[in-house]
Amino acid sequence: MNNARWLRLQQLFDALVELAPEDRAAWLAQQPDEDALKQEALALVLADERDSAAVTRQFGSAVAELAPAPASGLMLGPYRLLCEIGSGGMGTVFLAERADAEFDRQVAIKLIRGIPTRDAAERLRRERQILAKLEHPHIARLLDGGTSPDGQPYLVMEYVAGEPITRWCREQRTPLAARLELFRKVCLAVQYAHQRLVIHRDLKPANVLVRRDGEPALLDFGIAKLLDPNSSGRQEATGAHWFTPTYASPEQRRGEAVNTATDVYALGLLLYEVLTEQVPAPGSDGHFHVGRPLRGDGTRLPAELGLIVGRATHQDPVRRYASPEALSEDLRRYLRGRPILAAPDSWSYRTGKFLNRHPLSVFAACLALVAIALFTVRLAAERDRALRAEKDAQRESATSRHVVDYLVRLFDAAAPENAGNTSLSPKELIDRGQHDIDTRLANEPEQRARLLAAFGRIYTELGDPDSAALVYRKAAEAEQLLGNTRQEAIYLNQLGYVLNLAERPEEAEPVLHQALAKLQALDPPEPRELIDLYATLSLAESRRGDLRTGLAHAQQTRELLRQYNISDYLLVTRSLTSLAEAHMRNNQLAEAEQAAQQAIDLLRRHLPADSAEVVSATGFMTDIYERQERHADRERLLREMLQTRLRNLAPGSAWAITARNNLAQAIYLQGRMLEALPLFRENLEHLRASGQQDSPSYSITLNNLASLSEQAEDFDSAIPLFREAYENELPKPGKPPSPRLAMFRQNYGRSLLLAGKLDQAWPLLSVEIEESMEGNTERARRLLHLAEWMRRSNQLTEAARYANQAGAAFAQFLPPGHPRHAAVARARGLILRDQGRLAEAAEQLRQALEVLRKANGPQSNTTLECQVQLAQVLASAGARTEALALLQPIQGALEQHFVKNAPLLRQQARLLAQLQSS
């Protein structure tokens, strides 16, 4: 159908609607149009009468699509259209300006979309009638109106330059209280319209703008409904679907009659969007449920606001607020801290609101009551404290007397006249007393606990931390039964300390956390015990591999010392040694050495040089020297420590075994293999004799003896030792994993690799190193081992990639001259050699040899091995003289450092024979 036919059909339709049904046929007969067009127009009128205004609207919409839109620059009376600023279901709004030179002003002009049908014109006329009745600062005003020369009616309204209220609040980041005050103004504007019998029916963010001055303006009364039954004009049926679905009330969507409750519902949805910055969405049942409002970032809004929105948007119109003013008033009550009407009326709710409104008065009254109560309690507490101090003094006196009596009896039983010719060592004497204590002091739990603790200290001094752990655990359990929380926590701390000494940090940590919880529950707190406990806990965490937490707790001890102004040298020393350990495990070696030296200097100012405390602090420094590769300095300190402690300790004590093990390690790292091996073997014999195959010391000794054998290329001896050490560290039921497991697994795999057993080595070397492992050392070592495995498997590209990764990993935490860098350069040299790139291989091996000579000495096993490998590359490259100069001087050293028939000795002999024969 062409445009002319559409327009003529519209004209016939409008005329027929105005006629009485009995006059329509006669009128149509007088029209010159074809019969088909006449019948179509009559059919539309009959359908319109049958289906209310639905056909009229659909017909008008179709015509509107065909009609030309007004152009910018069009004159309507004294106004010139500038541009379109909005378009709705029935009209289009243009920005316009006054063009008659009377005064300058921008306005908004609303025109009917398309052809001005009778229904559309009637609606526009009704909007003009409504706006004429509304004079409110927060409602856009009607300024003028008229009809264009072609019969198009229009409205001239105040132009509101602003943003939708939701966008304005979001972009201005308006505080909650300011949003509510702004929204109250909107409510009062709607209330004003209701008082003039006008329902808006289309309240939504686009129809509520906020001006530049922050004041709201209510727009678009195009589908508003007049409640006045006497108002003139054709009323639109209440079932007409002119609304925005998102903000429409249930009764609107059902096509039922609307009233002021419809606008209250829309205001509730608008309030929800203003508060949450989210468009309200219906639930699975099609209805809106507010619940506890949440912002877009997940922040919860006050529950009372959810109640207000819930009441405004209730499905039953009768249960909503009676008016927009009532909604505004409830918001005002919320802002003033008063009970809201939407909340359940309860005593607790009203009391809470009262307290919030009058905090100072209530606080003053409570303060007076508290002061009276505190005064009374303090008097009672002082009395109880005095009585308790007297009772404690009596109990301590009795306990000390019983402990002394028991020790006297114990030593008397060991006297020659009672024990005969059998002499008892200090440890055997304490063992006898420890087993006897449960029967003799069964009815005296306090004395039993104190004596057990005394035995724990003696076992610690004798270098037997495992026995000390057993008695400290019993002492803590006894204090728990007595309800003495403070003393129980102290004994648990001592238990954690000796477990650290026994290289069992995975067992120490949970015990120390238990002690910490008990100390923190005390009132008032005990800062000295807390400092000591945090120091012990830091050691356990650092040794177990939790480096960040270990360092944090060590630093916390320093803060507590400053906070409580404590200068006790023993506590300060404990703090410094825990800090030194944490820094060392984090590869912050300079900081670690500084803290350890401060601890040693402080102890030497107060104690003799051979005291157990000074020796223990010196042990921390030897660990740091090991990380710094200062093996000669470490050997010197360890020899001094052993010489001092063996005056009082048995050669097979746990402390002596650990110190001897560390001394042997320092010796062999300097290349003096023959001196180190007897020390390791002596330790292994002591441990096996005392049945300590399950102890960490035994595993460490196995590992170190295996490492020496491997360096001497005695793989037949090294591999079984490595295997036993690794299997001893495998997880056992009921025990946490060992922090040494990854290191021992790598060592076992490396030894198999060097022995040429690649298939057996791969499952061990390919396992990823756990993140909980100490630092990055083991992860970097694994990369280096994988590079060697790939080289021996002739996968040279992969070998080079792993070697580069190992180099990058070591570079992150080791200085340039560290022997680990030499190991990487040596691996690269061998890969380049196998690739036939002899000149590059020789350069890498020269770099490795230079670092090894400086770090480990010219006679160390690793230095000698690298020297032979460089000579082989030079010989292959034709530099026979240089190769011979490298081989001849070390022949004697090789025979002293490597076992007979070692692969390196055979390689050196073959190479030397080839060079001499040529």
Could you tell me if 668 and 676 are in contact, meaning their C-beta atoms sit under 8 angstroms apart?
Answer: yes
How big is the CA angle at 785 (ends 783 and 788), to the nearest 5 degrees?
110
What is the CA 457 to chain-centroid distance, rounded?
41
Provide the token pair at 145: 């109106």
- Any idea of the CA torsion for 612, 616, 619, 621, to the nearest 10 degrees? -120
Order of all β-strands in the sheet with 142-147? 75-76, 79-87, 91-98, 106-112, 153-158, 142-147
**Running DSSP on this structure, what letter comes out for residue 322?**
S
Could you tell me if 796 and 832 are in contact, meaning their C-beta atoms sit under 8 angstroms apart?
Answer: no
At 526 the three-state DSSP class reads: coil
- Any idea of the CA torsion for 148, 151, 157, 162, to the nearest 10 degrees? -90
Q: How far apart are CA 591 and CA 569, in angstroms?
A: 20
Read off φ and ψ for residue 771, nearest 5 degrees.
Answer: -65, -25
**Running DSSP on this structure, what letter comes out for residue 668?**
H
**Running DSSP on this structure, what letter comes out for residue 86?**
E
- Any idea of the CA torsion for 286, 288, 293, 298, to the nearest 10 degrees? 20
**Can you name the residues that pair with 500 across neighbouring β-strands?**
none
Provide the token pair at 708: 């020496």
Q: What is the largest CA-CA distance in the chain?
A: 151
Query: Which H or E element spans position 348?
Result: helix 347-357
Q: How far apart are CA 917 and CA 914, in angstroms?
A: 5
Q: How far apart are CA 138 and CA 100, in angstroms?
A: 28
- Cis peptide upstream of residue 524 (ω within 30 degrees of 0): yes
Read off φ and ψ for residue 96, nearest 5 degrees.
Answer: -135, 170
At 402 the three-state DSSP class reads: helix
CA separation (Å) from 288 to 239, 283, 293, 569, 656? 21, 6, 12, 69, 77
Provide the token pair at 586: 């984090």
Could you tell me if 451 and 437 are in contact, meaning their C-beta atoms sit under 8 angstroms apart?
Answer: yes
| Helical packing angle, 485-501 and 527-544, nearest 10° | 30
204 is in an annotated binding site: no
User: Any alpha helices (H) in 521-630, and if so which ranges?
Assistant: 527-544, 547-563, 569-585, 589-606, 612-627
- Any idea of the CA torsion for 361, 363, 369, 373, to the nearest 10 degrees? -170
**Running DSSP on this structure, what letter comes out for residue 676?**
H
Which residue numbers belong to the known binding site?
Answer: 110
Which residue numbers belong to the known binding site for ATP?
Answer: 110
